[in-house]
């Protein structure tokens, strides 16, 4: 009898321990990789695609691969990647790079990955791979194989969505300083580009709200910057600016050996090229930070400023004020806009307690016509300098003979504005309507016009009547097609 009680007690304890173990094992113990048959414990519930893989427009095609993730994995550490291949070449399997890790703080029931630069008119197969890591144990799960086809772009008016931004060295902000050559990588290398001379870059994307965007910016001599832009597509806008410091994303120089840290190794490397000019043997272009053609004391000073700094020292607290003239469309069809005006909207950002501003442009009157009345119109969606209590004045004008656009608005009752405490800083300032005649001068149909008091052609005044000149001005970017949609 005593023996039976011991057996029952042992059995009871075994059941309790087994139950506790199974509950704990859900997230903290290894689960065998499921076989190709029954996948009852596979956290990858399903895979599917969204968007369309177009094979034209500007050579960029995107499609979004999605995975549904089981709720039981919530709280675990895991990553999701994808393998894909064309049906006619199953031996050439491409695996996506992992750029996001899930944990207890950011579980998502859907993982999405955007593919670029796919082969035209092809059938692709793909599957998701989930890697679960807990207590130094790793388990890998595979989804079932799914497929999709690339297709031709629509012939009707098509407006792809755009993620864009600007990059600039920290030590200069003037437009004349070269900002080109920064490599920008999207989502672990899914797409890559290089900034132009103004620092501009862009990616055409799917506008899928479940895609998490990561951006990496690098250039020899600069500390690499890694940016989690996040889930950027949450509104109806066709373009999203992902610049981190207002007008642009600031990059810190001095990392000659690209180890992510500015230290004595970098100083020694610069010293070896000291006083050498471009063309001399031993001259290092990536040590000539101010691009003046010589590695000298100025470059040493810039390096010293960032001594001991790393990528952890990048910050978004610095917000550079700027104006931006935006085109709401990413593709302009000239026959269509030869008949219907295209509206360009002027915005201001980080203009602390703005009470007035001036922005000067020049346009190519052989390429476009500008509606002179549009610059004087107050639009229903304007948000800056429209409070009638402070008597907004609009002295803006367009000279169609010289092709000059002058935006000039201000509050007349400056004292009342300051006393109100209702300081304005960011928002929409106005619009102009343009009609394209041709595209011979595109994309230089519009330029910033410098003035005696502003090399950038823009300035603003705050409610203390203090003027800040040389404010950054960002011009619209869009593709133009001379075809009837």
| pLDDT one-digit tens code per residue, 202-220 | 998 888 889 999 999 999 9
112, 129, 149 - which closes a domain: 149
Residues 255-273, mean pLDDT to the nearest whole number: 92
CA-to-CA dists, residue 353 to 56, 348, 387, 392, 471, angstroms: 45, 12, 13, 14, 15
Considering the domain architecture, whether residues 366 and 425 belong to the same structural domain is answered as yes
- High-pLDDT (> 70) share of the chain, %: 83
Confidence check: pLDDT of 341 > 70? yes
Least confident among 12-21, 210-219, 322-331, 455-464: 12-21
Considering the domain architecture, whether residues 328 and 449 belong to the same structural domain is answered as yes
Pairing of strands 200-205, 161-169: antiparallel
Q: Tell me, what's the pLDDT at 365?
A: 77
Considering the domain architecture, whether residues 226 and 109 belong to the same structural domain is answered as no
| Rounded-to-integer distance, Cα 112 and Cα 126, Å | 13
Per the prediction, the chain carries an average pLDDT of: 84
User: What is the pLDDT confidence band of residue 19, given thresholds at 50, 70 and 90?
Assistant: very low
* Top-confidence residue, 427 or 119: 427
When divided into structural domains, the chain yields a total of 3
Do the Cβ atoms of 322 and 350 come closer than 8 Å? yes
| Rounded-to-integer distance, Cα 404 and Cα 362, Å | 5
Report the CATH number that the domain containing residue 198 is assigned in CATH. Answer: 2.60.40.4130
Q: Tell me, what's the pLDDT at 172?
A: 63
Confidence check: pLDDT of 54 > 70? no
* Top-confidence residue, 236 or 337: 236
Q: Tell me, what's the pLDDT at 34?
A: 35
User: What is the pLDDT confidence band of residue 62, given thresholds at 50, 70 and 90?
Assistant: confident
Considering the domain architecture, whether residues 125 and 223 belong to the same structural domain is answered as no
Considering the domain architecture, whether residues 313 and 327 belong to the same structural domain is answered as no
> Rounded to two decimals, what is the model's pTM?
0.85
User: What is the pLDDT confidence band of residue 173, given thresholds at 50, 70 and 90?
Assistant: very low
Q: Tell me, what's the pLDDT at 311?
A: 95
Confidence check: pLDDT of 321 > 60? yes
Which residues are paired to 452 by β-bridges?
Answer: none
User: What is the pLDDT confidence band of residue 238, given thresholds at 50, 70 and 90?
Assistant: confident
Q: Tell me, what's the pLDDT at 205?
A: 87
Confidence check: pLDDT of 232 > 60? yes
Considering the domain architecture, whether residues 183 and 263 belong to the same structural domain is answered as yes
Least confident among 95-104, 262-271, 282-291, 440-449: 440-449
* Top-confidence residue, 346 or 238: 346
| Rounded-to-integer distance, Cα 50 and Cα 205, Å | 12
Phi, psi of 356 (to 5 degrees): -175, 165
Considering the domain architecture, whether residues 232 and 208 belong to the same structural domain is answered as yes
CA-to-CA dists, residue 277 to 123, 180, 269, 285, angstroms: 53, 20, 15, 9
Q: Provide the token pair at 465.
A: 């009547």
Considering the domain architecture, whether residues 272 and 348 belong to the same structural domain is answered as no
| Rounded-to-integer distance, Cα 225 and Cα 299, Å | 20
Considering the domain architecture, whether residues 103 and 188 belong to the same structural domain is answered as no
Residues 7-27, mean pLDDT to the nearest whole number: 40
* Top-confidence residue, 176 or 252: 252
Q: Provide the token pair at 90.
A: 């199953």
The residue among 399, 241, 394 whose CA lies nearest residue 322 is: 241
227 Cα distance to chain centroid = 9
293, 320, 347 - which closes a domain: 320
Do the Cβ atoms of 120 and 84 come closer than 8 Å? no
303, 320, 337 - which closes a domain: 320
Written as one string, the DSSP assignment of 120-184 is: TT-EEEEEEEEEEEETTEEEEEEPPPEEEE-BPPPSS----EEEEEEEEETT--STTS-----EE
- High-pLDDT (> 90) share of the chain, %: 55
Considering the domain architecture, whether residues 190 and 102 belong to the same structural domain is answered as no
Say if residue 433 is exposed, middle or buried (CB neighbours under 10 Å; 0-12, 13-18, 19+): middle
Considering the domain architecture, whether residues 173 and 306 belong to the same structural domain is answered as yes
| pLDDT one-digit tens code per residue, 368-418 | 888 889 999 999 999 999 999 999 999 999 998 888 999 999 999 999 999
CB atoms closer than 10 angstroms to residue 149: 14
Q: Residues with Cβ < 8 Å from 250, sequence gap 6 or more?
A: 168, 169, 170, 244, 314, 318, 320
- The answer to whether position 76 is within a domain reads yes
Report the CATH number that the domain containing residue 404 is assigned in CATH. Answer: 2.60.40.680
Q: Tell me, what's the pLDDT at 66?
A: 94
Considering the domain architecture, whether residues 295 and 402 belong to the same structural domain is answered as no
Q: Provide the token pair at 305.
A: 């400023």
Q: Tell me, what's the pLDDT at 337?
A: 53
Axis-axis angle for helices 264-272, 297-305 (nearest 10): 170
How many residues are present in the chain? 485
Confidence check: pLDDT of 439 > 70? no
Q: Tell me, what's the pLDDT at 134?
A: 80
Residues 82-102, mean pLDDT to the nearest whole number: 93
Residue with tokens 């004008």: 397
Which residues span the domain enclosing 120? 44-149
Residues 24-28, mean pLDDT to the nearest whole number: 37
User: What is the pLDDT confidence band of residue 102, given thresholds at 50, 70 and 90?
Assistant: very high
Q: Tell me, what's the pLDDT at 175?
A: 46
Half-sphere exposure of 447 (CA within 13 A, CB side): 14
Confidence check: pLDDT of 5 > 90? no
Confidence check: pLDDT of 3 > 60? no
């Amino acid at each position: 009898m005593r023996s039976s009680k011991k057996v029952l007690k042992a059995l009871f304890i075994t059941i309790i321990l087994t139950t506790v173990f199974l509950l704990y094992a859900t997230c903290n113990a290894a689960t065998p990789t499921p076989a190709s048959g029954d996948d009852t414990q596979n956290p990858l519930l399903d895979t599917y695609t969204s968007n369309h893989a177009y094979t034209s427009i500007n050579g960029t095609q995107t499609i979004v691969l999605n995975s549904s993730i089981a709720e039981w994995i919530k709280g675990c550490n895991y990553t999701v990647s994808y393998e894909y291949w064309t049906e006619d070449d199953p031996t050439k399997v491409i695996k996506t790079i992992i750029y996001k890790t899930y944990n207890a703080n950011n579980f998502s029931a859907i993982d999405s990955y955007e593919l670029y630069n796919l082969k035209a008119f092809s059938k692709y197969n793909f599957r998701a791979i989930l890697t679960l890591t807990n207590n130094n144990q790793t388990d890998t799960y595979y989804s079932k194989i799914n497929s999709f086809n690339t297709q031709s772009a629509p012939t009707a008016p098509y407006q792809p969505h755009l993620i864009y931004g600007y990059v600039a060295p920290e030590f200069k902000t003037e437009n004349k300083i070269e900002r080109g050559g920064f490599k920008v990588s999207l989502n672990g290398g899914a797409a890559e580009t290089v900034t132009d001379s103004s620092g501009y870059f862009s990616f055409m994307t799917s506008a899928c709200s479940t895609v998490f965007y990561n951006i990496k910016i690098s250039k020899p001599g600069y500390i690499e910057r890694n940016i989690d832009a996040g889930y950027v597509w949450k509104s109806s806008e066709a373009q999203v600016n992902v610049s981190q410091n207002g007008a642009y994303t600031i990059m810190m120089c001095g990392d000659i050996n690209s180890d992510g840290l500015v230290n004595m190794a970098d100083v020694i490397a610069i010293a070896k090229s000291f006083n050498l000019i471009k063309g001399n043997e031993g001259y290092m272009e990536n040590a000539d930070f101010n691009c003046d053609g010589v590695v000298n004391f100025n470059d040493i000073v810039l390096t010293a400023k960032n001594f001991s700094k790393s990528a952890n020292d990048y910050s978004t607290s610095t917000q550079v004020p700027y104006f931006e003239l935006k085109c709401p469309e990413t593709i302009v069809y000239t026959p269509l806009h030869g008949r219907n005006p295209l509206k360009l909207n002027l915005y201001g950002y980080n203009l602390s307690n703005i009470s007035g501003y001036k922005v000067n442009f020049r346009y190519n009157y052989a390429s476009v016509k500008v509606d002179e009345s549009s610059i004087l119109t107050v639009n229903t969606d304007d948000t800056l300098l429209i409070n009638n209590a402070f008597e907004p004045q609009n002295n803006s004008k367009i000279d169609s003979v010289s092709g000059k656009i002058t935006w000039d608005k201000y509050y007349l009752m400056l004292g009342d504005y300051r006393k109100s405490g209702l300081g304005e800083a960011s928002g929409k300032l106005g619009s102009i309507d343009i009609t394209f005649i041709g595209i011979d001068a595109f994309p230089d149909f519009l330029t910033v016009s410098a003035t005696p008091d502003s090399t950038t052609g823009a300035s603003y005044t705050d409610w203390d009547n203090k003027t800040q000149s040389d404010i950054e001005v960002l011009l619209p970017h869009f593709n133009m097609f001379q075809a009837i949609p």
